């Protein structure tokens, strides 16, 4: 189930052509410190994670600063459902971090 989700994110986010058109309507990118706070950044960070990348501080800031307003999807020539990718990545994170926590707990005990 979790692996299906990971695969779905990978598949959907791989459609991104890096054109950046989505950035022009995103309400958060203007207030963030960099491209990570815009849809292009979020999709590609989600892709990075789905391919086994680390949940770094910037990755989490990027994914959790999204308002899920979906303005970006209207601009996307690849028809990517960007907020859905963000949502799915958040689910993945909570599941993955739970697993991590269990491993740590086991190690401690």
Partner 1 sequence: MEKDKIVRDISKLIGKDKVSGDEALLSIYSKDPLGNVGKALAVVFPEESKDVSRVVSYAYKNDIKIYAQGSSTSLAGSSLPKEPGIVISFERMKKVLEVSLVNSYVLVEPGIRIDDLNLELGSKGYMFPVDPASSSVATVGGAINSGAGGMRGAKYGTMRDWVLGLEIVLPDENGTIAFAGCKTLKCRQGYDLVRLIVGSEGTLALVTKAYLKITPLPETVIVALAFFPRLENLMEAVVDIKSQRVQPYILEFLEKRTAEVAAKSIGRSINIDGHMLLAGIDVNREAVDRYVEWIEKLLKEHGGKGIQTARSWQEAEERGLFDIRRSLFVAQSKMAREIYKNVNNAKIMLLIEDIAVPPSRLIEAVKGLKELEKKHGFVTMLGGHVGDGNLHPSIGFNMLDPEETKRAERWFEDLVDLAISLDGTVSSEHGIGITKKEALRRELEARGSLKLLEIMKDIKKVFDPKNILNPGKVV
Residues at the contact surface with partner 1, assessed by CB under 8 A: 14-15, 17-21, 23-24, 33-36, 40-41, 44-45, 48-49, 53-59, 62, 77-78
The number of residues making up the chain comes to 109
DSSP string, 43-88: HHHHHHHHTT----HHHHHHHHT-----HHHHH-TT---HHHHHHH
For position 63 contacting ligand SF4 by CB under 6 A, the verdict is: no
If DSSP codes are grouped into helix, strand and coil, which group holds residue 2? helix
Q: Is 69 in the site for ligand SF4 (CB under 6 A)?
A: yes
Our finding on whether 78 is near ligand SF4 (CB under 6 A) is yes
Residue 34 is a binding residue for ligand SF4 (CB under 6 A): no
Nearer to partner 1, 52 or 107 (CB): 52
Compute the distance between CA of residue 6 and CA of residue 91 in angstroms, rounded to an integer: 10
Among 68, 77, 17, 79, which residue's Cα sits nearest to residue 47?
17
Nearer to ligand SF4, 5 or 14 (CB): 14
> Which of 9, 43, 45, 49 contacts ligand SF4 by CB under 6 A?
43
């Amino acid at each position: 189930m979790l692996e299906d989700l990971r695969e779905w994110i990978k598949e959907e986010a791989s459609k991104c052509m890096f054109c950046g058109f989505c950035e022009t309507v995103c309400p958060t990118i203007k207030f963030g410190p960099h491209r990570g706070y815009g849809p292009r950044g979020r999709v590609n960070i989600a892709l990075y994670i789905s391919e086994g990348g680390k949940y770094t501080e910037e990755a989490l800031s990027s994914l959790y600063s999204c308002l899920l307003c979906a303005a970006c999807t209207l601009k996307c020539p690849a028809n990517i459902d960007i907020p859905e990718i963000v949502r799915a990545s958040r689910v993945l994170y909570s599941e993955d971090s739970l697993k991590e926590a269990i491993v740590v707990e086991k190690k401690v005990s």
